[in-house]
């Protein structure tokens, strides 16, 4: 009474082996070790690009245009950041695969 169906079958992922309960605790421990659903590799092969293309096809993180400002009769050049007509770079293939950020592994150096 008071147990859910997943706990009764021994598939509760948060049960600990130290909590007692012979076969039910052993089944819960095995449930943690085996993957759920389809196998997903722990590596990432692509990333989203952080740069943009402008109208000329140049690739950069930011684009600026030079504007001439007249103040008190003096001409002065200022840089103004361009926000329009920029196309995102898209998906970039990584040279070497990276480990996915959600992959449960502890990396250490001895």
- What does each C-alpha distance from 81 to 49, 52, 63, 86 come to in angstroms? 20, 13, 6, 12
- C-alpha closest to that of 24 among 1, 46, 43, 6: 6
- C-alpha closest to that of 62 among 80, 47, 78, 76: 80
**What mean pLDDT do residues 11-36 have?**
50
pLDDT at 22 over 50: yes
Helices (H), the chain: 5-8, 22-33
- For 43-85, the pLDDT digits (tens) are 999 999 999 999 999 999 999 999 999 988 899 999 999 999 9
- For 25-45, the pLDDT digits (tens) are 555 555 445 556 677 788 999
pLDDT at 13 over 90: no
Better-predicted residue by pLDDT, 78 or 103: 78
Return the number of other C-beta atoms located less than 10 Å from residue 36's C-beta. 8
Provide the pLDDT for residue 17: 47
Q: What token pair was written down for 64? A: 């600026």
- C-alpha closest to that of 49 among 94, 90, 85: 90
CA atoms within 13 Å, Cβ hemisphere of 89:
15
Q: What token pair was written down for 78? A: 């200022």
């Amino acid at each position: 009474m008071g147990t859910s169906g997943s706990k009764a079958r021994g598939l509760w992922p948060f049960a600990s082996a130290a909590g007692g309960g012979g076969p039910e605790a052993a089944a819960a421990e095995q449930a943690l070790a085996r993957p759920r659903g389809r196998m997903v590799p722990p590596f990432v092969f692509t990333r989203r690009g952080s740069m943009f293309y402008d109208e000329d096809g140049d690739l950069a993180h930011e684009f600026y245009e030079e504007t001439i400002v007249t103040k008190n009769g003096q001409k002065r050049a200022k840089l103004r950041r361009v926000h329009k007509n920029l196309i995102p770079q898209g998906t970039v293939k990584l040279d070497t695969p990276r480990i996915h950020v959600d992959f449960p592994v502890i990396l250490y150096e001895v």
